[in-house]
Amino acid sequence: MNLTGKKILILISGGIAAYKINSLVRDFVKANAEVQIILTPSAERFVSPLTLSTLSKKPVYSQFFSDNGQWNSHVDIALWADVLLVAPCTANTLAKMVNGLCDNLALATYLSAKCPVFIAPAMDLDMYQHPSTLQNLNKLEKYGHFIIPAEHGELASGLIGQGRMAEPETIFKTITCFLNSKNIEFDNKKFLITAGPTYEAIDPVRFIGNHSSGKMGFALAEEAANRGAKVTLISGPSSLQIEHPNIEVIRVTSAKEMYEKVFCYYDQADVAIASAAVADYAPKEIAKEKIKKNDEVLTLELVKNPDILKNMGQRKNNQILVGFALETQNEEENAQKKLVQKNLDMIVLNSLREPGAGFQKDTNRIKIISRTETIDFPLKSKSEVAIDILNCIAQHLNNNH
C-alpha cells in the first residue's frame, strides 16, 4: 500500500479504544502517509502524546495554544488534510459533531475541514444502540461522512455486543482504498502545466516581469498529481516549492525558455494547462552591460514573444488543451475569442475586477468556458479552484475517450 503524499488527520476522542490508534498511525506512516494527530482533552488520559508524536513524527496537539504560547490553527490543520478520521469517536464527540459544538481543538478542526471525513465510533453496546446515537450516526452520514461501523465482541465493560471500534487494519484498509480509488482518476495520464510569470531581461540586472506568484499552476500540479497524473510543471520565476513523487518541476526564466521546454514535453502530454502569465513582449536587444542613466528618456524596443498556448493549439494532436484568460473588460467575449483562436478545449476566465481574485492572492473567482457551456464558480481558495478545473478536465477525458 502506498500513500506517498497523502495527508491524514486523526482526531482521537476519549475512549479506551484510543490505545489501538498507535498501531494505525504506525501503519499509515509505513505506507508513507503524513499523519497529524489531535487529541480531545479526555483522550489525553487514554493515550500518550509522546508515543503518538514519536510514531507520527509530528507534534500532537490538544489545545488551541501550545505551552510555548504558539496558536495551533484549527483552520490550517483542517485544510492541510486529504482525509480526516475521528477514531475512536465517543458518543459525546459524535453528538457534538452533529450539533456543531466546538469546545476543543479537535472539534474546531472537524468543523473547519473540507476533506472527506471518516468516523469510527466506539462505545458500550447500549450506548451504541441508543436511538440518539443511531440518529446521530445517521445525520453524519447525511452530512456526507463515512461511518466505519463498530464491531461485535467483548467490550471494556465486560459485556458482549456491538460497540468495539473497528480494528485498526479495517480502518487502514477503508481509508487506503478510498485514497487509492481517488488516485486512479488520472492514472497514467501525462499533464504539462505552465505556471508563474516570465522575466524578460533588459540588461544583466533588470527585467520586465509581472506579479504572477505561480500559486494557481502549483495548486493544479499538486491536485493532478494527487489524482495519479504524472505532471511536468514548467514554472517561471516563483518562490514556491513543491515536492511530490508525481511532479517534475522545470524552472525557466523567459518566455522563450518556457516555449522551448514546453515543446520538449507537449507531444507526449494527454492534458496541457497554460496557467503561466507569459510576458507578451521582450526587449529586442539585451544590453550586455548595465544600462547607465545617462539620458532623460530611455526607449526600449520590444518584440513579441511567441504565444506558447497558441502554438500548442496549432500543434494539437490528442491533447486536452486548457488556457487561462485574464481580462479587465468584455471578459466573457474576449475569453470566448481566445478559446477559438488558440484552438482550446477549455478556457479559465479570471477577472481582475473581482475582489479576492488575481495575482498574488490565495483565492480566485473563475468561469470555465468550453465549446458547449460556461460554468460560473464562487470565490474559492486556489487549491479548491484547482479541484474544480480538474473535475472539468476529468469529465472531458471521460467524454472523449
CB-facing half-sphere around the CA of 387: CA atoms within 13 A: 10
Stretch binding ligand CTP (CB under 6 A), from 95-103, 136-144, 292-300, 304-312: 304-312
Burial of 259 (0-12, 13-18, 19+ CB in 10 A): buried
- Report the residue from 82, 324, 365, 390 that binds ligand CTP according to the rule CB under 6 A: 324
* Max Cα–Cα distance, the chain, nearest Å: 92
* Residue that is written with C-alpha cell 544590453 in the block: 287
Q: Does 165 bind ligand CTP (CB under 6 A)?
A: no
- Report the residue from 31, 89, 113, 325 that binds ligand CTP according to the rule CB under 6 A: 325
Strands, E assignment, 129-217: 146-147, 151-154, 160-164, 190-195, 200-201, 207-208
- Report the residue from 323, 357, 365, 384 that binds ligand CTP according to the rule CB under 6 A: 323
H/E stretch holding 272? strand 271-274
State the helix-helix crossing angle for 215-226 and 382-400, rounded to 10 degrees.
Answer: 50
Nearest CB to ligand CTP, comparing residues 231 and 255: 255
One-letter identity of residue 309: L
Q: Does 276 bind ligand CTP (CB under 6 A)?
A: yes
Compute the least distance from the CB of residue 377 to ligand CTP, in Å: 17
Per the structure block, which three cell numbers stand in for 162?
Answer: 456491538
- Report the residue from 308, 321, 368, 389 that binds ligand CTP according to the rule CB under 6 A: 308
Compute the least distance from the CB of residue 259 to ligand CTP, in Å: 8
Catalytic annotation on 180? no
Stretch binding ligand CTP (CB under 6 A), from 63-71, 75-83, 165-173, 276-284: 276-284
Q: DSSP letter at 315?
A: T
Compute the least distance from the CB of residue 382 to ligand CTP, in Å: 15
Nearest CB to ligand CTP, comparing residues 41 and 209: 209
Query: CA 272 to CA 282: how far, in whole Å?
Result: 24
Q: Does 278 bind ligand CTP (CB under 6 A)?
A: yes
SS3 302: strand
Nearest to 145 by CA among 111, 191, 185, 187: 111
One-letter identity of residue 131: P
Query: CA 258 to CA 400: how far, in whole Å?
Result: 29
- Report the residue from 113, 117, 255, 368 that binds ligand CTP according to the rule CB under 6 A: 255
Asked whether the beta carbons of 319 and 272 are under 8 A apart, the reply is: yes
Per the structure block, which three cell numbers stand in for 90?
Answer: 465517543
Q: Does 366 bind ligand CTP (CB under 6 A)?
A: no
Nearest CB to ligand CTP, comparing residues 89 and 278: 278
Asked whether the beta carbons of 88 and 121 are under 8 A apart, the reply is: yes
Nearest CB to ligand CTP, comparing residues 167 and 327: 327
- Report the residue from 307, 332, 370, 379 that binds ligand CTP according to the rule CB under 6 A: 307
Per the structure block, which three cell numbers stand in for 210?
Answer: 509581472
Looking at 22, 92, 180, 210, which residue is catalytic? Answer: 210
Q: Does 192 bind ligand CTP (CB under 6 A)?
A: no
Query: CA 183 to CA 305: how far, in whole Å?
Result: 37
Compute the least distance from the CB of residue 274 to ligand CTP, in Å: 4
Q: Does 369 bind ligand CTP (CB under 6 A)?
A: no
Query: CA 399 to CA 192: how far, in whole Å?
Result: 20
Nearest to 254 by CA among 318, 206, 187, 209: 209
Q: Does 385 bind ligand CTP (CB under 6 A)?
A: no
- Name the β-bridge partners of 375: 368
Nearest CB to ligand CTP, comparing residues 44 and 280: 280
Q: Does 274 bind ligand CTP (CB under 6 A)?
A: yes
Q: Does 305 bind ligand CTP (CB under 6 A)?
A: yes
Nearest CB to ligand CTP, comparing residues 122 and 326: 326
Nearest CB to ligand CTP, comparing residues 225 and 278: 278
Nearest CB to ligand CTP, comparing residues 7 and 261: 261
Stretch binding ligand CTP (CB under 6 A), from 43-51, 152-160, 202-210, 271-279: 271-279
Query: CA 147 to CA 150: how far, in whole Å?
Result: 9
Stretch binding ligand CTP (CB under 6 A), from 10-18, 40-48, 97-105, 300-308: 300-308
User: Which stretches of the chain bind ligand CTP, using CB under 6 A?
Assistant: 194, 255, 274, 276, 278, 280, 305, 307-309, 323-326, 338
The set of catalytic residues is 210
